[in-house]
Amino acid sequence: MNRRGGALSRKRAPVVVGWFTEESAGGDRECGFRLLGTRCSSCASVFFPREDVFCRNPGCPGGELTEVPLSPRGRIWSYTDSRYRPPAPYVSDPELEWQPRTLIAVELEAERMVVLGQGAPGVSLADLAIGMEVEAVPGVLNEDADTTWTTWHWRPTGTRGPAEETADATGATGVKA
Q: Site residues (CB under 5 A) for Zn ion?
A: 40, 42-43, 45, 55, 57, 60, 63
* Cβ burial, residue 174 (10 Å; 0-12/13-18/19+): middle
Cis, bond preceding 89 (omega within 30 deg of 0): yes
Nearest approach, Cβ of residue 44 and Zn ion (Å): 7
* Minimum CB distance to Zn ion smaller for 54 or for 90: 54
Cα separation values, 118 from 27, 66, 127, Å = 23, 26, 14
How far is 26 from 72, CA to CA, in rounded Å? Answer: 17
CB of 43 to Zn ion, least distance (A): 3
How near is the Cβ of 115 to Zn ion at its closest, in Å?
19
- How far apart are CB 50 and Zn ion at their closest, in Å? 14
- What single letter denotes the amino acid at residue 126? A
